[in-house]
Structure 1
Amino acid sequence: MITLGRGALEIDISPEIGGAVTRLDCGDVPVLRHGGLKVLDASCFPLVPVANRIENGVFKFGGKEYRLPLNFADHPHALHGHGWQTAWRVETVSRDKVAIAYDHARDAWPWAYSAEQVFSMTDDAVSMVLTLRSQDDKPMPYSLGLHPYFPRRPGSKVTAKVDGMWRADSTMIPTELVAATDLIDLNAGQIVSKAPFVDNTFTGWQGPARIEQPELGLEIMLKASANCGFFHVFIPEGEDYFCAEPTTAMPNALNRPESAGETGAGVLEPGQTVSMEMHISVRKL
């Protein structure tokens, strides 16, 4: 585990556990939930080279069908790519900055690539930059995301400017683009404890998102790079956390190539690099 600190902020990063963040605190107050020894108990983990779901693990690209292993228990879809289930290596470490990386050889995902995460801190903020680099001689589809978990308290509130939401089927594959207020109202500000079950992507996100934690005495501003126009919200029932995830594409984007402009599906050319950034700033109330 690597620990960085600046001002009142302190972060733990666990390269061996999917390159995940396992703690982000402001003093003794959690900004992100405290993580455990498994990546699904983490505070935040990377989504690379694909964010969210690929339906049944099957997609077509360049006129050819590809079939990926299902990688999440009995879930019917391939989920979140490889980074979260891979050990990362440490590249550089300083008092307030660390870089970790891993390399992926061709397998069922038949494109070689490398991925890097750079974490840097100021006295009141942490920045996470996720980069994907093609190491292949063929074009490669991709999407990127980061998956932070926030503590859920009675007054936890999320406000974000969005213009639509993808309604999903029972396995959370998007089916229909509907009004942004169809399920919850992020534009007006949503009290998390008053929301139904949510595992949906919102479109047209123009950051930042404001996360108010009155019981914890914190206001959090969540920003992302301009290529993250999608805001995935996960509010499970009966849990003490919720997720607010910036992504470059919607779930199952690789199966919607005819509308790539709407869904965020991207293509990385041989030798090309693409990055996304998430910035979390913290203010005490």
Structure 2
Amino acid sequence: MTPGEIAMLELSTGPFTARIVPEIGGIVTGLEWRAPDGKRHKLLHAPNGAVPTTAHSNMFGTWLMVPFANRAFDCLIDDGERAFTVPANDRSGNIHGFGRQSAWTVLGMTQGHTVLEHRRTEGPDPYRYRATQDITLDDAGMTITMAVTNEADTALPYGIGHHPWFPCAPDTRLGMTAAGALVFGEAFRATGSALFSDGGPYADKPVFAREHETAWSLLGWNGVARIETPSTGLAITLTASENFSFPVVWAPLGADFLCVEPQSHAIGSPSEAAARAVSPLTRLQPGETLEGWLRIVPETL
């Protein structure tokens, strides 16, 4: 490896290949599937030539959000018992935590499996933790099991999630149901929440909206999302653990990707009282662990 070159791991099992860059946020930069007809499909949005970075959020692959998911507006962490600030990494405050900007250590690796670790042992805020990602390929898909353990000497609020970016074409349909969603004011800041009477905007598996920015912070998701693209003959089923029932669905105007982000709390729960009221962070005592998982399984249409 030459100076400046990024070290990449490659996992391979059956028809699946995954590429992972531990030193750049532990990101899974690509996941590919060889279908029974021999056609190869990208299961994660992965533009040719895209290079991962810690300077900003990588808009491809999938990566862990820790010690909280999505936005802490004005860098504030406030769970109603304790309030403090964290370093800014976005104009709005802190987005997606520290894991995506950190180097991860490889604890072990086989042909179709690896375990990565990221520890935060210092900083201007009280967060001290150990985070892990267990990434496994099998003959049907990829599973990522993630965890964060509070290694501070005091109880702290935590959240986790993963941020997959999926390919999206003009005919791509998204199907998923939820009990409700946050109501957004300016810049995705929650002003309240609302219940759905019909399972939400994707209950009937509509064509995913591409003519405007899409942003939902869903509540009470049942843990299953299905993405179908007839023009490519590909369907992807995303499932997640029960405690990841607050996913974000997002895509900007005209994007060739869509994000369905399983996470343990809603947008803004670290800082906004309206979000915290319906999806608080998890308060971990020293040594306690918060964990969850997601799974990606493809099939042909």
1:77 is displaced (CA, Å) by: 2.2
Residue 224 of structure 2 corresponds to: 208
Q: Which residue matches 1:23?
A: 30
SS for the counterpart of 1:262 is coil
Alignment partners' CA distance in 2, 1:68 and 1:152: 34
Q: Is 1:233 the equivalent of 2:249? A: yes
Any residues of structure 2 matched to 1:111-150 within 5 Å, and which?
111-150=127-166
Identify which of 66, 69, 78 aligns with 2:87: 69
The reply to whether residue 281 of structure 1 matches residue 297 of structure 2 is: yes
Counterparts of 1:166 and 1:257, CA distance in 2: 12
- Is residue 52 of structure 2 the alignment partner of residue 38 of structure 1? yes
In 1, Cα distance between equivalents of 2:276 and 2:185 = 21
1:52 and 2:70 aligned: yes
Distance in 1 (alpha carbons) for counterparts of 2:195 and 2:80? 32
- Please report the TM-score for the alignment, with normalisation by the length of structure 1: 0.92
Q: Using the TM superposition, give the Cα deviation of residue 181 of structure 1 relative to its aligned residue in structure 2, in angstroms.
A: 8.1
Q: Is the 1:58–1:66 Cα contact (8 Å) retained in structure 2?
A: yes
The equivalent residue for 1:7 is 14
1:54 Cα deviation (Å)?
0.9
Is 1:246 the equivalent of 2:262? yes
1:97 to 97, 100, 113: 113
1:172/1:200 contact within 8 Å kept:
no
Q: Once the two structures are superposed, what CA deviation does each residue of 1:191-229 show, in whole Å capped at 9, x if it has no partner?
A: 114563122211110021111122221111111011111
Distance in 1, Cα, partners of 2:219 & 2:75: 23
Q: Deviations 1:63-85 (Å, cap 9, x if unpaired)?
A: 5431222102xx22211110001
Which segment drifts farther, 98-107 or 44-53? 98-107
Name the residue aligned to 1:86: 102
Offset of residue 34 of structure 1: 1.0
* Partner AA of 1:34 in structure 2: A
Task: Indicate if the aligned counterparts of 2:76 and 2:270 stay in contact, CA closer than 8 A.
Answer: no
- In 1, Cα distance between equivalents of 2:261 and 2:79: 26
Q: What is the CA–CA distance in structure 1 between the aligned matches of 2:195 and 2:147, rounded to whole Å?
A: 32
Residue 176 of structure 1 and its aligned partner are, at CA, apart by 2.3
Query: C-alpha separation between the residues in 2 aligned to 1:179 and 1:196?
Result: 23
CA contact (8 A) 2:211 2:254 kept: no
SS of residue in 2 equivalent to 1:190: coil
Structure 2 gap ranges (5+): 1-7, 35-39
Q: Secondary structure at the match of 1:171?
A: helix
Query: How many Å apart are 1:179 and its aligned residue?
Result: 4.3
Q: Which residue of 1 aligns with 2:190?
A: 174
CA distance in structure 2 between the partners assigned to 1:181 and 1:29 by the alignment: 36
Is residue 230–residue 247 contact of structure 1 (8 Å, CA) maintained in 2? yes
Within the candidate set 214, 239, 262, 2:278 is matched to: 262
What is the aligned counterpart of 1:165 among 160, 177, 181? 181
Select between 91-100 and 1-10 the one with higher mean Cα deviation: 1-10
Q: What CA distance in whole angstroms lies between the structure 2 residues aligned with 1:64 and 1:26?
A: 46
CA offset digits 1:153-181 (Å, max 9, x no partner): 01111111111111222321222212448
C-alpha distance in 2, partners of 1:139/1:19?
26
Question: What is the SS of the residue equivalent to 2:74?
Answer: helix
Q: Which residue identity is paired with 1:197?
A: E
Against the structure 1 CA distance between its residues 16 and 199, is the aligned structure 2 distance closer, same or farther, given a 3 Å change threshold?
same
Write the distance in 2 (CA, Å) between the matches of 1:62 and 1:166. Answer: 19
More strand by share: 1
Counterpart Cα distance in 1 of 2:127 and 2:46? 34
Higher helix share: 1
Q: Which moved more, 1:193-202 or 1:258-267?
A: 258-267
Give yes or no for contact 1:208–1:224 (8 Å, CA) kept in 2.
yes
